[in-house]
């Protein structure tokens, strides 16, 4: 399964033993194409049932005209990973120098894009997810970029769930365009009557209303639980 689109708004929700995932896929003009897909384990290991099937999604500066492709790096990380944390670790190690080179190139050739990248606290965000031993897992690898004099420093970070990304077994990660969503979740009555999937879809819909210039339908949703992966509305996914 592959999906070809932008990922301007992405919600990852963890509740005990379930993830609810929802996103939008309307293209933003003058930006490189982005995509998200399910990837099989390494070909030579496909008969080893202990290896999970991975899902990943990417937000931010994912490629440039000089050949940088974070999507390809993510696919490579998945192809040799033994679990979700390993996929995120392999991705961070491989992509950091490539992303830094892309940022340096942007500073030279596209100052406006470079300034916009610096304004973003996390200009590259990738989430890897799978069901491992009956437990859904996700790991978010994200990257910060700062200038120190004429030097550019790219630093990888990580949050995971179960773990740092979901206190007390529950949590939500909002990536990409998220201004309206972040304001909404501050309201104490936002969660009333909402299950994780309904909440995720509602947050994405808020982003569609708030930023129709770059966020729009259809919405796709994927739930991972102890029994595996379950698509709701696939949107552009097939």
In this prediction, residue 142 carries a pLDDT of 94
Peptide bond into 218 cis (omega under 30): yes
Domains assigned to the chain: 2-217 (3.60.40)
Higher pLDDT, 235 or 225: 225
> Does residue 1 carry a pLDDT above 50?
no
Q: What is the mean predicted confidence (pLDDT) over 80-107? A: 94
In this prediction, residue 44 carries a pLDDT of 35
- Could you give the CA distance from residue 99 to residue 121 in angstroms, rounded to a whole number? 15
DSSP state of 43: G
**The pTM is what?**
0.78
Higher pLDDT, 197 or 87: 87
> Does residue 100 carry a pLDDT above 80?
yes
In this prediction, residue 38 carries a pLDDT of 36
In this prediction, residue 61 carries a pLDDT of 85
173 bridge partner residues: 12
- Long-range contacts made by residues 112-120, C-beta under 8 angstroms, separation at least 24? 117/61, 117/145, 118/145, 118/146, 118/147, 120/60, 120/145
In this prediction, residue 99 carries a pLDDT of 95
Closest CA to 143 of 120, 113, 174: 120
> Does residue 62 carry a pLDDT above 60?
yes
> Does residue 88 carry a pLDDT above 80?
yes
Q: What is the mean predicted confidence (pLDDT) over 201-217? A: 84
């Amino acid at each position: 399964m592959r999906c070809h689109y932008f990922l301007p708004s992405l919600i990852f929700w963890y509740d005990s033993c379930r993830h609810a995932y929802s996103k939008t896929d309307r293209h933003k003009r003058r930006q490189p194409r982005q995509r998200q897909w399910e990837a099989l384990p390494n070909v030579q290991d496909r008969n080893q049932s202990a290896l999970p099937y991975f899902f990943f999604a990417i937000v931010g500066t994912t490629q440039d005209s000089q050949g940088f492709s974070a999507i390809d790096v993510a696919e490579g990380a998945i192809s040799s990973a033994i679990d979700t944390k390993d996929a995120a670790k392999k991705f961070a190690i491989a992509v950091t120098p490539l992303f830094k080179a892309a940022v340096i190139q942007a500073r030279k050739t596209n100052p406006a894009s470079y300034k916009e990248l610096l304004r973003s606290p996390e200009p590259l965000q990738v989430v890897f997810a799978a069901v491992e031993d009956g437990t859904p897992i996700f790991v978010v690898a994200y990257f910060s970029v700062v200038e120190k004099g004429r030097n550019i420093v790219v630093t990888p970070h990580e949050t995971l769930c179960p773990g740092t990304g979901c206190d007390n077994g529950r949590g939500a990660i909002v990536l990409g365009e998220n201004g309206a969503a972040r304001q909404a979740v501050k309201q104490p009555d936002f969660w009333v009557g909402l299950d994780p999937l309904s909440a995720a879809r509602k947050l994405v819909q808020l982003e569609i209303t708030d930023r129709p210039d770059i966020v729009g339908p259809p919405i796709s949703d994927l739930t991972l639980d102890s029994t595996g992966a379950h698509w709701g509305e696939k949107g552009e996914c097939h």
